[in-house]
Structure 1
Amino acid sequence: MSLLELAVERPQRWDVPFGDAMGEAEVDQLLELDPFYEMDPTSFPAALPLREILKNDTRINYYPVGGIIVREGDYGNSAFLVLRGKVQVVLSGLDPELLGRQPIRKQGFLKSLARMWRNPNLPEVREQIRARQDLIVNDSDEVADLSQTRVFLQDIPRVLGDSRTVTLKPGELFGELAALTRTPRSATVLAEGDAWLLEIRWQGLRDLMRHTDSLRQHVEQLYRQNSLRVHLRETPLLSQLPAEVLEKVVAETDFESHGNFEWHATFDKTSQRHGEAIITEPLIAEEGSLCDGILLVRSGFARLSHHFGSGQRTVAYLGKGQVFGLNEAIGSALGTLPVTLTHSLRALGYVDVLRIPQRVLNEHVFPHFSREALAEIAKKHAISCTTEQCEPSNGQHGGEQPRIDTPLLEFLVERRLINGQQAMLIDLDRCTRCDDCVRACAATHNNNPRFVRQGERHGPFMIAQACMHCADPVCMIGCPTGAIGRDMATGIVRINDLTCIGCSTCANSCPYDNINMVEVRDRSGAILVDQNTHQPIHKATKCDLCADQSGGPACQRACPHDALVRMDLGNLGQLSDWVGR
């Protein structure tokens, strides 16, 4: 062994269990409950036994009456199973100020200045690479104690008032959709009385669903029972329907999934650069086919395109909450002849959609609107296309679609860059290559810059290789320890260095090459190596958006020429304003 190497024990998946109170007796009790008692332990691999998943990836939480379990809008990394007591799912009407969100801890000026003096001279120095055995990780990936003070509401009847709520009883599961799809919580959940819940972090939930059908079927059944009405109410066309009419729509709505949940595994960057991506994208609805209702996008992204020459031209993309086919469905209801779709819809990765058949719209939805109102809605949602451009009007796609140069839009869609909520966009016409952005990043991160000033280009614009904190962060899918996850309040994707085992799964999963694996050292300069294999130990590193800095991302603040911005590439209005400034 070289004098510049130090042998240490490599971190393991369950070094940091989700809860410290799960013993063999508690696991035995869980295995007697639905849905766990139906699971066959032999269907799980030897490396991931059912008992160990329950012991290390779950914990039992107690909530007093009024205790806030999850809050609408927060990003969550876990699902909850009601063991004892009842909980209330608040669908609407709750005052957000009552939810007790804690402010993000920002470093003050003096602390930020002191950090610069403490920065090591060597790259990637670690004081500690293995977590202590007595640590537990909570929903926001921070070290916590299960006895921590929780936020709760004292006067439940007064606080809820006229809020719409649904009561869940023992055996019911919630929060699984947000945990698995990496999206914000869609509702606030409160303890109706004293309640005991089993919290399952999403890595364990994923493995349970991967190796057994019982939990998957349980989740699908609960979605249809508890969540479908919420998603339908979020659509303006359906928001004012009488409750009894909405129930008829719920009964006839079909749930569909298109594409691959782990789409990054088959994402071919070469085909994207040559415009061949659309050939491989799963077709959801095809231009020229008869309109048979509308599609509501529940999660994921979909490409809207139309025939142009011998190929397809991208018109827009649709995301969560947006609608496809509404104009044609209205035209079909108003006219005497069937209407064909004017555009095609294809899955970009993995897309969940709700399909409401034309017959259901004609019988239960459109009768609540006058013919004049329907004609006005149809006109408002129309798309006018010429040989030069297509201009989608507001509403058809759930919001106004600002005019974006077609080649730029196709560039963003084909490379899945619309996934980026905090992409680093650089105007190369203004950039002088001074590298002040890189130096600022290094100064903020112990002399280790967390991005590379290079990347995909379109005209004068470049998307640098910096974590984009994606709307669908597929880097989280395969992490075996939960070391990479979202901040609950901000949505920032962060890596817990203590629980990262250096497996490279996140780096290999990132379609944009924005996560790097680095060899780590101690302060003497010795490279840390595995004591068994004597191979260097790696850690995953990436941009953390300077989450603890009061001024925001250091890279953007340091640019002297206003050439760099952190931007949501899915916000076409913001992008249009910046490009056209």
Structure 2
Amino acid sequence: MSNASDPSDKPVSFDVTDLVEGTRPDDEGLFARDVDGQLIRVERATASELDEDVALTIDGRAITVKKAVPTRDAQGNIIRDDNGAPKPRFTTIYDAASEAFVRKPGDPHPIPALCHKEHLPPVGVCRVCVVEATEMTRRGPRKKLVPSCVQRVNAGMIVNTINSEADPDAAERVKASCQTVVELLVADHLPDSQQHTTGNELAAIAQRMGVTQSRFAGRSIQRGQDNSSKMIMVDHDQCIMCGRCQRGCNWVKGNNVIGRAEKGYESRIAFDLDSPMGHSHCVSCGECAVSCPTGAMQFQPSFIETQIKRVQDDMVAEKKDGEIVTADELVKIDLFSGIPYKFLQFNGAAVVRRMMAPGDVLCREGEYGSTAFIILDGEFEIFLNTTRGAVRNEKASGLAGLLGGLKTVVEKVGGRARLADVGAAQLLDNQRILRNKEDVVLGEMTCMNRYPRSATVVATQPAEVLEIKRNVLYMLQRNAVSREILDRVYRERSLRGQLASLPIFDSLDEANRNLAADYLSNKADLVSVDPGQTIFKQGDLADDYYINKLGFVKVTQAYGRDERVLNYLGPGNGFGEIGLLSSLGNTLKESLGGEIRPGVRTATCSALDHVELIRIRGDDFRALLQQFPELKQNLAAKAKEILQRDQEARSRLQAVEADEFLDQGLYLAQSLLVLDLERCTRCDECTKACADTHDGVTRLVRDGLRFDKFLVASSCRSCMDPYCLVGCPVDAIHRGGDSLEIEIEDYCIGCGLCAENCPYGNINMHGFDKQEVDAKGKLRSVYQEVDGKKLPVVQQRATTCDLCRSVDGKPSCVYACPHEAAFRMTGKQLMDMVSR
């Protein structure tokens, strides 16, 4: 029986830092021996060791690394504790070698590895990543072969890998050990059919180690195949029990489906309580197959072909130009070189090559984008058509409005335009913003945060781009090499532009604004904040200034035992200047108000959702004010305006349940279904109309949050930053190209991730019999044999409200209400109505 339910097989349930902290050359359960042979308890990394340098030598190269590094999740985000501090883990030899030798895409890592990937917690089970580590003891130098993925670095350590030219004898010992392990794995788990298969990491390492034929006989026990899944083929005989599929399923995705069964030669991975994969609770997200380093898990060819055909058909139907780029082509591009080949296969239709002629439009301002663009060749110009094009639906005027009709408008926002897709740069008169392949990527901010395109991008010369979907962009961020490229581009292109466009620099001329941005861009760092996490508290000493890059920040102020929500800050807003300004002298303190305590935070700021911040240290901020004295009074005036606005907001929000408004996410809504309970007679015509319009599957429930005299029904809100769009394995859910509605494509695989991600219960899963086209071109149901019975294969698909865009664009729920009690409105409009 599988022990998939055993907590030890669920990495989600424990701290991943436990897997690498304190590992010594000799492990004995909970204890280890230090270099002098003393028995010690395994240590944990401390926060101070994040800043402590360790000097060591790898292959004759002297390098210095931090003793500990922040623990990161599968997307490369830093994992933090309840106080917002990063969780440290000891730096390993593999980490140090990566930092020293892998500088750019395509650089080979000097240490081969099978069970370890940078986005997974290391476990050290394959022993392919063995190196020779030498440490000095009182008895002299001590050499030992150790697994580099779990072995921590120590000061003065000398490491030799299979490539070491500094100590050829050590390199030979390491290579012999590694070759023996690889030969054993090849004998049992690498059939002839997989010897030269692209994406088989065991075959690639065997070739790298010069293992063309194993000296050992293969295993006699056959573990068999499992083809019960319509999406993934499982060959247990090729499984090397590295645990990468298990960690991918349980730790990365949190599905907790994969465990282990049996022992010894008969041990294998198992699903649920040792069920066939197709009969288990597997949601077909594909993470296990993407993680697998051998041919043990591969995607069904029919599944990949179907996905590609669907996308091709959609491109033809929508008259879109482009050519689907194959996995074999993508792995040759530097940016994609570290991405698993199987992931590129799985998302074989997620990357489309587009050839652009001069004058062709790549994307338009105001569109809701779910893709980013990798520039391979050519040049593009970015410009604005409106001050800011935010596409919104609002109630139509006249008779149509009385009947609940909507009209689409482009909402203009005053002030300086911020171009999210081109680094929030200010677009001045007669200024051209040009981008080429040196900039690598366009549109990544819109792709990640799901806001409207903030600029129009037009080709100025023949160009070639790759249009990638969000799940591909997430995978690029997971890979260290790709992430480094994207971060470098952001710092060189986006960060400086975003700093230059900050309102605090309004009093400076263009030259000084650019000088100020240049000064800060080299001193700013990027900070990730989890939902609900406090950034700083009221009464804390003011030390840093922050700029919101992504997400929403809640601002609250406490009065006695009462706490009031003053504001929420979206992307592009800076905060934290008041506490810093109040410490600069009595004149500024008096201009801000006599009750302000110098150098102390006046409010509490916390993350409402996933927030990315640009942090500027207080010393650098104060030095900036000394370098540009004219900023002081301007900032003081703006800070005074903020304090006055906060006072007005406090008074205005006392009459409404602001906390509930924010906690329920209503501030993010762009299209709430609001029922006026003083008019509503509970006839349920809105729900009936929805079901009749959508083939009997209703997309709303006449229940939900009561807010004042209004009921916010359970129906898709078209959130500004939809949680449902995060992580779809086939990118089947996205916004409409030029609208705010959420669309779910027919190729949805029914994994249910979007329904789980939606915190408001507005996405439902409904089942249906799977059908396929037979040889005669007719649809027929697909059956499978279970316990000797032939049963239809039941699939499920996600559904959500699309404001009837798939029908006629007129919400049936609103039109069906006989009492004019149903309305569609934004969260801000609802708050304004209640506040009056």
Q: Which moved more, 1:510-519 or 1:182-191?
A: 182-191
What SS does structure 2 have at the residue aligned with 1:520?
Answer: strand
Q: Does 1:33 align with 2:338?
A: no
Partner of 2:306: 15
Contact (CA 8 Å) 1:13, 1:480: kept in 2 or not? no
Q: Partner residue of 2:783? A: 531
Q: Which residue of 2 aligns with 1:130?
A: none
Shift of 1:377: 2.2
Among 239, 249, 255, the alignment partner of 2:520 is 249
CA contact (8 A) 2:520 2:616 kept: yes
Partner residue in 2 for 1:153: none
Any idea what SS the aligned residue of 1:328 has?
helix
Alignment equivalent of 2:610, drawn from 345, 350, 370: 350
Q: Distance in 1 between matches of 2:374 and 2:770?
A: 42
Confirm or deny that 1:291 pairs with 2:520. no
The SS at the match of 2:614 is strand
Identity of aligned residues (%): 31
Paired residues of 2:763 and 2:800 also in contact (CA < 8 A): yes
**Residue pair 1:80, 1:197 contacting (<8 A) in 2 also:** yes
TM-score normalised by length of structure 2: 0.50
Deviation digits for residues 315-369 of structure 1 (CA, Å, limit 9, x no counterpart): 3322223332233344334537842111111112200122234444444458464
Task: Give the 3 Å change call, closer, same or farther, for CA 372–310 of structure 1 in structure 2.
Answer: closer
- Structure 1 455/437 Cα, relative in aligned 2: closer, same or farther at 3 Å? same
Write the mapping of 1:408-487 to structure 2, written as runs, cut at 5 A.
408-487=657-736
One-letter code of the match for 1:455?
G
CA distance in 1, matches of 2:770, 2:749: 17
Structure 1 gap ranges (5+): 1-8, 104-159, 264-280, 394-401
Pairs within 5 Å for 1:121-520: 162-169=430-437, 172-210=440-478, 212-239=479-506, 241=508, 242=511, 243-259=514-530, 281-309=532-560, 312-333=563-584, 335=586, 338-364=598-624, 367=628, 369=630, 373-383=634-644, 391-392=648-649, 403-405=652-654, 408-496=657-745, 498-520=746-768
CA distance in 2, matches of 1:61, 1:567: 37
Write the distance in 1 (CA, Å) between the matches of 2:442 and 2:653: 39
Q: 1:120-140 CA distances to partner (integer Å, 9 max, x unpaired)?
A: xxxxxxxxxxxxxxxxxxxxx
Report deviation, 1:372.
5.4
What is the 5 A alignment of 1:539-578? 539-547=797-805, 552-569=810-827, 571=828, 574-578=829-833
The answer on 1:57 being equivalent to 2:309 is no
| 1:233 Cα deviation from its structure 2 partner | 4.0
Determine helix, strand or coil for the equivalent of 2:472: helix
Task: Quickly say closer, same or farther: Cα 1:323–1:161, change in 2 above 3 A.
Answer: closer
Structure 1 residue 195, shift from structure 2 partner = 0.9
Give per-residue Cα distances to partners, 1:287-325, cap 9 Å, x unaligned: 112223432222212221233545744333222233322
- Write out per-residue CA displacement over residues 414-465 of structure 1, whole angstroms, 9 at most, x where no aligned residue: 2333222212222323321122322333343344432110112245332211
Return the alpha-carbon distance in structure 1 between the equivalents of residues 552 and 475 of structure 2: 25
* Distance in structure 2 (CA, Å) of the matches to 1:530 and 1:209: 38
Q: Which moved more, 1:289-298 or 1:327-336?
A: 327-336
SS of the residue corresponding to residue 517 of structure 2 reads helix
Higher RCO (C-alpha 8 Å, min separation 6): 1
Cα deviation digits, residues 265-297 of structure 1 (max 9, x gap) = xxxxxxxxxxxxxxxx21111211222343222
CA distance in 2, matches of 1:349, 1:371: 32
Shift in Å at residue 196 of structure 1? 1.0
Is the contact made by 2:700 and 2:762 (CA closer than 8 Å) also made in structure 1?
yes
Counterpart Cα distance in 2 of 1:461 and 1:240? 44
- Whichever residue aligns with residue 768 of structure 2, its letter is V
Q: Report the CA distance shift for 1:365/1:303 in structure 2 as closer, same or farther (over 3 A).
A: same
Q: CA 1:475–1:369 in 2, change beyond 3 Å: closer, same or farther?
A: same
Q: RMSD of the TM alignment (CA)?
A: 3.6
Structure 1 residues 371 and 201 mapped into 2: Cα distance closer, same or farther (>3 Å)?
A: closer
SS in 2 for 1:252: coil
Structure 1 residue 405: Cα displacement: 4.1
Residues 315-324 or 461-470, more deviating: 315-324
One-letter amino acid matched to 1:214: V
Q: Once the 2 structures are TM-superposed, how far is the Cα of residue 167 of structure 1 from its aligned partner? A: 2.6
CA 577–343 in structure 1, closer or farther in 2 if over 3 Å, else same = closer
What number of residue pairs does the alignment pair up? Answer: 463
Quick check: which has more Rg, 1 or 2?
Answer: 2
Question: Which amino acid is the alignment partner of residue 759 of structure 2?
Answer: P
After superposition, the Cα gap between the structure-2 partners of 1:54 and 1:34, relative to the gap in structure 1 and judged at 3 Å, is: farther
| Mapped contact 1:528–1:536 kept (Cα < 8 A) | no
| AA aligned opposite 2:307 | V
In structure 2, stretches of 5+ residues that fail to align are 1-229, 232-301, 313-321, 394-427, 590-597, 772-778, 786-791
Rounded to whole Å, the distance in 2 between the matches of 1:484 and 1:29 is 26
1:369-424: per-residue Cα shift (whole Å, max 9, x none)? 47654443232111588xxxx5349xxxxxxxx92346621112223332222122
The 8 Å contact of residues 13 and 481 in structure 1, kept in 2 or not, is answered as no
Please report the TM-score for the alignment, with normalisation by the length of structure 1.
Answer: 0.70
Contact 1:381 1:392 in 2 (8 A): no
Given that 2:748 and 2:798 are in contact with CA atoms closer than 8 Å, whether structure 1 keeps it comes out as: yes
2-side partners of 1:166 and 1:421: how far apart?
A: 32
Q: 1:152 maps to which residue?
A: none
Question: 1:451·1:514 contact (CA, 8 Å) conserved in 2?
Answer: yes
SS in 2 for 1:438: helix
Q: 1:371 to 1:170 in 2, by over 3 A?
A: closer
Task: Give, in whole Å, the separation in 1 of the partners of 2:439 and 2:554.
Answer: 39
1:166-203 deviation line (CA, Å, top 9, x unaligned): 33225712222221222223433322311111221112
**Distance (whole Å) between structure 1 residues aligned to residue 351 and residue 583 of structure 2:** 51
In structure 2, relative to structure 1, the CA distance for the partners of 1:165 and 1:21 (3 Å cut) is closer
